[in-house]
Amino acid sequence: MPADPAQPVATLNPLPPPYIGRFAPSPTGPLHFGSLVAALASWLDARAAGGRWLLRMEDLDRPRCVAGAADTILRQLEACGLQWDGAVAVQSERDDAYAAALDALIARGLAYPCACTRAQLAQAPRNAEGEIVYPGTCRNGLPAGAGARAWRLRVPPGTVAFHDRIHGNLRQNVAREVGDFIVRRADGLFAYQLAVVVDDAWQGVSHVVRGADLLWNTPRQMVLQTLLGLATPAYAHVPLVTNAAGQKLSKQTLAPALPLTACSTVLAQALAALGHSPPAGLAGAAPAELLAWASGQWQIERVPVHSTIAKPSP
């Protein structure tokens, strides 16, 4: 009997999906050493896998964005030799996509309006991260006379288990430890959680490598991926860099901006923070040479779990 041409005669092993990584800074100021560590880890992981590395400006929170910061970030990445692929995605141009995702959730009863003010929630319990656990006040309808302010996701009960490539197997009961979280804010802006999930799917991101401050955002993003029918990327959260006082480097702790020239020293320091100290023979090497060496050496297993790294003195 002749083979049915519609039926494959043998099952070929499917090719693994292409590696697509991304770096997604907020243009609220220039990059500092801590953001370089996250960018470098993401870039190395993509390049070592022969993958693409996309850039996305997370300028969703318009009031916090600083004019010119996005351009400064691009120049800083270029100075460090971290070249991205393709056009830079910009979240402030993506409201239609976020609105469509929210509408899809609302249509299925998975998002609901919330009238609670910050003051009303001030006494609500907090989780281990210090975040308010939403007590569900508006879950079954707005209180009489109250107007909708924000939109919240109706988080299904149960535990979200996930594997982080650096932290190992983790789990969180999002419904209990976070509660119904905001997907559209009272000021009308779409919430970070919704935008990042929609954009990672839109850009085809297969691997997220980012700072450990976002580790406990992952389960709620996975809840959104599940409810929106989107794929979940692989996750890795690199350690945060702290200053001499043990504070996370940030604009709030006055972390100095990365230089736009002579990046070799900070790049070598960032590699050390990621468990990949360059050999003495590469002291003073140009960024391109350091990156070529590091791409060949990169093993995410060597990245330390804990944020015990203080930025070395310049």
**Bridge partner list, 114:** 150
Residue 152 Cβ, how far from Zn ion at the closest point, in Å? 7
Residue from the set 137, 217, 225, 232 that interacts with Zn ion by CB under 5 A: 137
How far apart CA 9 and CA 1 sit, in angstroms, is 13
| Near Zn ion in 31-60, by CB under 5 A | none
189 versus 285: smaller Cβ distance to Zn ion: 189
How far apart CA 145 and CA 142 sit, in angstroms, is 8
CB of 41 closer than 8 Å to CB of 74? no
137 versus 232: smaller Cβ distance to Zn ion: 137
How far apart CA 112 and CA 137 sit, in angstroms, is 11
Residue 217 Cβ, how far from Zn ion at the closest point, in Å? 21
114 versus 266: smaller Cβ distance to Zn ion: 114
CB of 231 closer than 8 Å to CB of 205? no
DSSP assigned state of 302: G
Residue 146 Cβ, how far from Zn ion at the closest point, in Å? 8
Look up tokens 């509408």; give the residue. 103
| Near Zn ion in 90-119, by CB under 5 A | 114, 116
How far apart CA 107 and CA 117 sit, in angstroms, is 25
Q: Does 127 bind Zn ion (CB under 5 A)?
A: no
Residue from the set 20, 60, 105, 138 that interacts with Zn ion by CB under 5 A: 138
114 versus 183: smaller Cβ distance to Zn ion: 114
Residues lying near Zn ion in the complex (CB under 5 A) are found at 114, 116, 137-138
